[in-house]
Copies of this chain bind each other. A is one copy, B any other.
Amino acid sequence: MTIPELDDVHPAWLPPEAFRAVGSRRTLVAGDGTLADTVRAEVAHACARHGGALDGPHDLVITLSPQEGLGDEDFVLSRQDGVTTVAAGGQAGLLYGFFAVVRLGEAAFEGERAAEHHRPALRRRMLDHWDNIDVHPVMGQVERGYAGGSIFWRDGVPHDDLTRVRAYGRLLAASGVNAVAINNVNVHATEARLLTDRLGEVAAIAGALRPYGIRVHLSVNFASPIALGGLPTADPLDAGVREWWARTTERVYAAIPDFGGYVVKADSEGQPGPFAYGRSHADGANTLADALAPYEGVVHWRAFVYDHRQDWRDRSTDRARAAHDHFAPLDGRFRDNAILQVKYGPMDFQVREPVSPVIAAMPGTRLAVEFQVTQEYTGQQRHVCYLGPLWSEVLGFRPWGPDGATVAGLAVNGGLVAVSNVGDDPYWTGHPLAQANLYAFGRLAWAPDLDPGAVLDEWIGLTFAATGDREPLRRALRELMDGSWHTYERYTAPLGVGFMVRPGHHYGPDVDGYEYTPWGTYHFADRDGVGVDRTRASGTGFTGQYPRPWSEVYESLADCPDELLLFFHHVPYEHVLRDGTTVIQHIYDTHFAGAEQAAGLREKWEKIDGLVAPDLHARVRERLDEQVRSAEEWRDQVNTYFLRKSGVPDAHGRRIH
């Protein structure tokens, strides 16, 4: 194992300077195995740069120390008598302990430190790539990708050089991620073959990621037995089908012994699934789970099942209800190695949604919660939108109220999954500041109770480690990024109502863009009011999918949080919010404020000029120009739309077109 030569790859949060503290010490790495070798190579690499050494007397000891209660990924960090010690429960613990020391920097070598037991809160911390091998005519190579092409394939074949994949694995390990699904959940014909005759490509990628403790998963097409196996059916209860999955999976593990498992999007947006055979999603998931079980693999079965051919005229059908309606009755019927992967909200990665009620409805099922690091609905990596605070809110949400479990707690055995935002863009993520989202995802998956602002500080500290006086930069970036999610929310769809984006590509405003479509994403604005009545009393009854207290809180117009008001209620424009403003005035106010704040971001960035690399500064500035333009467009379209509809003038007489 050699440390990747990163000269051609942007180091993101692992620039050479980030290793100064550890690299200038004398370090012992004790233990054998792939990951121990990785850590040893990392230390050697850092020492070569910064003057440290691997021989004694040691300032830092990183050692395998298997013991009761210490999981493979766990480590105990302590400092005593001038020696900092990472005692790892297993190979992976060595790696995570090492990167913990890197993150601490000099602080890891100061004073005494009582033993701290570090363990990941969630077992599996996974990024899903929506990468295709081919360039899809509509979706491009990376579906919902805003950072160039795939890091795995180009021109229909794997990249010759997997340096970037190795570098990616290293970045992920440093943030805490331990699994990657490498291909799009919409599995097209070419990509389906990764499961069979193109399996070698998966093995090569697994080989590149393995030194950093990352297991590879594969999205598979539910109809593979037909498309790849030539069987007449994909019925999950058909013996031939089950046999086909068993034999196919056997071959996968022969090639990749630490293969993670499958990801399946079935009966969703046109993908095939068990419904075609009158089978349940438990039947579908279990057939794949059974094939994977002998090898301790898992199937991630996505709960994103809804009618995407809904009739907009039918106001009783509610897409928000769909996942719960489909899956809650199946609780307890999934195998132990089948993980139900649930988007955090009941709709689709909007800037503001309530937490999905499915998460509280499956006590007898392993659950993974799905986030979207790629900014499909949050500015597509042209807008600064730091998502840590959003994820933190979701992870800390307690479906049964203050005394109940958190979302993070409910996902302990399943894990946390997110759609990745990286591509072959020089900065990895298109918008350089969007790297922070990737970092924060890993960190929050490891420790959901971390303060997202502190995570942002970590990211800034590592990424800009070479900056002399980091404090002005840190302060400026905190100001710029920490509230950026709320800024984005202000100038886009108001009060939790969602969407209002251009159909198809989902960038930029189009208030009625989805209003008369079959996609189930409506706001029902008329001349009197706006919002979706999802109450039991008079609406779709969606609020009833929540346990108390939230079923009651959301049901009640008086109690429903303002930021979700239009998600749950259809209200008149004159409805008064908690701050005393009316809904219509709130729409105007937030849109004027949001666009103004976007302009403020650009001003803040200008002040950073000189503190960061010129090319990075220029790239961000160019994106901020677009963000300011887009925010103004959102402001004007939303305000004009609602002025035309409501006829209510802005209380402050500002210009609405």
List chain B residues, Cβ under 8 A from A137: 137
Cα distance A528–B644 in the bound complex, in angstroms: 8
Cα distance A510–B516 in the bound complex, in angstroms: 8
Cα distance A641–B516 in the bound complex, in angstroms: 9
Task: Check A657 for interface membership: any CB of B closer than 8 A.
Answer: yes
Taking CB atoms and an 8 Å cut-off, the chain A residues in 498-548 that contact chain B are 509-513, 516, 525-528
Q: Convert A623-657 into 0s and 1s, putting 1 for each residue whose CB lies closer than 8 angstroms to a CB of B.
A: 00000000000001100110111110000000001
Cα distance A644–B525 in the bound complex, in angstroms: 7
List chain B residues, Cβ under 8 A from A645: 526-527, 644-645
Inter-chain contact B644/A526, CB cutoff 8 Å:
yes
CB distance from A137 to the nearest CB of B (A): 7
CB distance from A622 to the nearest CB of B (A): 19
Task: Check A313 for interface membership: any CB of B closer than 8 A.
Answer: yes
With A313-B657, A636-B313 given, is the CB distance from A646 to B527 under 8 Å? Answer: yes
The residue on B at minimum CB distance from A502 is B503
CB distance from A134 to the nearest CB of B (A): 14
CB distance from A588 to the nearest CB of B (A): 16
List chain B residues, Cβ under 8 A from A641: 512, 516
Inter-chain contact A527/B644, CB cutoff 8 Å:
yes
Inter-chain contact B516/A647, CB cutoff 8 Å:
no
Cα distance A600–B228 in the bound complex, in angstroms: 47
Inter-chain contact A526/B647, CB cutoff 8 Å:
yes
Most buried by B among A527, A641, A643, A657: A527
Cα distance A137–B529 in the bound complex, in angstroms: 41
Inter-chain contact A516/B509, CB cutoff 8 Å:
yes
- Show 11 A/B contacts (Cβ-Cβ < 8 Å), sorted by A: A137-B137, A313-B640, A509-B516, A510-B512, A512-B513, A516-B636, A516-B640, A525-B644, A526-B643, A527-B527, A527-B644
Query: Other CB < 8 Å A-B pairs besides A511-B516, A516-B636, 10 of them?
Result: A137-B137, A313-B636, A510-B516, A511-B512, A512-B512, A512-B513, A512-B641, A526-B645, A527-B647, A528-B647
User: Which 9 pairs across A and B sit closest by C-beta, in order of nearness?
Assistant: A526-B644, A313-B657, A512-B512, A527-B527, A516-B637, A527-B647, A527-B645, A313-B636, A645-B645
